[in-house]
Amino acid sequence: MSKEFTILYFASARDAVNISSEIISFPSTSSSLSLQDLTNLLKNRHENLGKILENSMFAINMQYVDKDDESIMVKPGDEVAIIPPVSGG
């Protein structure tokens, strides 16, 4: 079984990283990540993403999740969408 998951970037998150998606491998020591660990991993990979992640919503496998819920875990094969706040007029 693959130890990877997919990140989908939308709107300003996509603009900050210049890609719409990426596949990330889990660290060799784990097969799941909390959303907080995922946020830290993404901030380290993409320095322009930090502020955007603070205000974004997250969805795992097309289901919105509470990013402050420490029991939510990203597992192999999951698809995580990062959805920044909508702006405009």
Q: To the nearest whole number, what is the mean pLDDT of the chain? A: 93
29-33, 36-40, 70-74, 84-88: range with lowest mean pLDDT: 84-88
What does the block give as tokens for 32?
Answer: 């799941």
Q: What is the mean pLDDT of residues 17-39?
A: 92
Q: What percent of the chain has pLDDT over 90?
A: 82
Q: What is the mean pLDDT of residues 43-64?
A: 96
80 with 57: CB under 8 angstroms?
A: no
Q: For residue 52, which of 75, 89, 86 has the smallest C-alpha distance? A: 86
Global pTM reads 0.91
Res 28 pLDDT > 90: no
CA distance 58 to 65: 6
| SS3 category, 89 | coil
